[in-house]
Amino acid sequence: MVRDRNQPNSTHRVLVSGNYCHDVLIKDGVVLAETLGGAASFISNVFDGLSVPYNLVSKVGFDFAYSVPRDPIVVPNCKTTLFHAHFDSGVDGDGRQDRVLKRVSSCDPIKPSDLPESRFDFGMAVGVGGEVTVETMEKLLEICNTVFVDIQALIRAFDGVDGTVKHVALKESGFFHLLPRIGFLKASAEEALFMEVEEVRKLCCVVVTNGRRGCRVYWRDGEVEVGPFPTNQVDPTGAGDSFLGGFVAGLVNGLTVPDAALLGNLFGSLTVGQIGLPKFDIRLLQRAREEVQRRKMQCGNCYERKDDKFRFVNAAGQEQFHASLGVAKQTTKCLAHEPQWDLPSSPSKPTEQVVLCQYTTQPKSLTGSVYEEAIKTVDVESKP
């Protein structure tokens, strides 16, 4: 079981299940950054920033290169799951259609026995490399009152030759029969094409993120669109993970579903503005926590029944909540951390040596590069 340095074992609020990864970001064949990756790292980043109590079960290999707040299970005879994300600056789009993701190596899957026997209010299945099995999902559903699932944990398949990430239909994934026990299923607009939303919404709540357009929440009796927070997109990696972290953090703090989705949109927008795992300005985090508590008090009596677990309909004042979160974002210095290159299209392309110096997550120990392909690196003595 993961050793938790910051939270006491008696706190059983949220259980996150998903492996840490090594991510290598490559643009036009040039390595721009090597960073800590995996949905678990982005979600933990949001939870730590918003002071959400949680436990995490994650596996890594003997070569794991980063220091993290919650230590993973180290598998001595395995390498850490490694992804290469290839971008092409010559292709216009929203940063996803032109991204080619390859799994270079994979750690062991998370077993049911790796999960704790304690009960949790919320559980999260956020595998990225095939590490969440059907059996593990069943165990998660047994010990958690409400489970949130990222569809990428269910539908990803990997090419047997070069590890390119592909998708299978949700009905063919082996997880479809578990949907009636799942609370929320999150998918990007591209991933949503691999399921019938109208069918799945009758089985569980569906949240579809759509980048700069925000997100839409579907449930059996209705749907609601939740507005975005404009940002300058730099790297889409982890945006959906940060969204899910913010979304769950909002629900943990008693927000309605639309308000929680707004909080998710905020953290998704902050993530795409930086390379790899984002750094959140401490003043923004404080303002966000204050606005969440203010909104919670404002909506304290908005539930129709006392036994309602979640409220899906917008409560009065959401526009102001949206505006307040937007002001919190704009009035902090977090945007000053944004690098000056853009994926996939940029009007100008400054030197990438600045990106490497300022925005590469620093590993605890790295005697050699974690990427294994013959990829060009940036020559800091010459212009790109």
| pTM of this structure | 0.84
The residues pairing with 226 across neighbouring beta strands, listed in sequence order, are: 215
| pLDDT in the model for residue 362 | 47
For residue 122, the 8-state DSSP code is: E
For residue 98, the 8-state DSSP code is: T
For residues 40 and 18, is the Cβ–Cβ distance under 8 A? yes
Q: How many angstroms separate the CA atoms of 268 and 262, rounded?
A: 10
Q: CA-CA distances (angstroms) from residue 282 to 37, 95, 156, 271, 333? A: 22, 27, 35, 15, 9
Domain ranges of the chain: 18-300+311-332
For residues 122 and 56, is the Cβ–Cβ distance under 8 A? no
Class of domain 18-300+311-332: alpha beta
Q: Distance from first CA to last CA of the chain, Å, rounded? A: 45
Q: What is the pLDDT of residues 361-375, one digit of tens each?
A: 444 433 345 545 444
Residue 49: pLDDT above 50? yes
Tell me the average pLDDT across 282-294.
94
Residue 2: pLDDT above 60? no
For residues 337 and 274, is the Cβ–Cβ distance under 8 A? yes
| pLDDT in the model for residue 338 | 42
Tell me the average pLDDT across 59-82.
96
Residue 155: pLDDT above 60? yes
Q: How many angstroms separate the CA atoms of 212 and 329, rounded?
A: 16
Q: How many angstroms separate the CA atoms of 169 and 358, rounded?
A: 40
Q: Please list, residue by residue across 319-331, b when 16 or more beta carbons sit within 10 angstroms of its beta carbon and e when fewer do.
A: eebbebbbebbee
Q: Which two tokens stand for residue 26?
A: 């490559």
pLDDT band at 308 (very low <50, low <70, confident <90, very high): low
Q: How many angstroms separate the CA atoms of 203 and 179, rounded?
A: 6
Q: How many angstroms separate the CA atoms of 363 and 286, rounded?
A: 27
Tell me the catalytic residues. 241
| pLDDT in the model for residue 99 | 81
Residue 75: pLDDT above 90? yes
Hey, CA dihedral for 232, 237, 239, 240, is it positive or negative?
positive
The residues pairing with 149 across neighbouring beta strands, listed in sequence order, are: 125, 185
pLDDT band at 76 (very low <50, low <70, confident <90, very high): very high
Q: Which of 226, 239, 4 is nearest to 99 (CA)?
A: 239
Tell me the average pLDDT across 100-113.
96
For the chain, give the mean pLDDT. Answer: 83
Least confident of 4-18, 65-79, 232-246, 279-293: 4-18
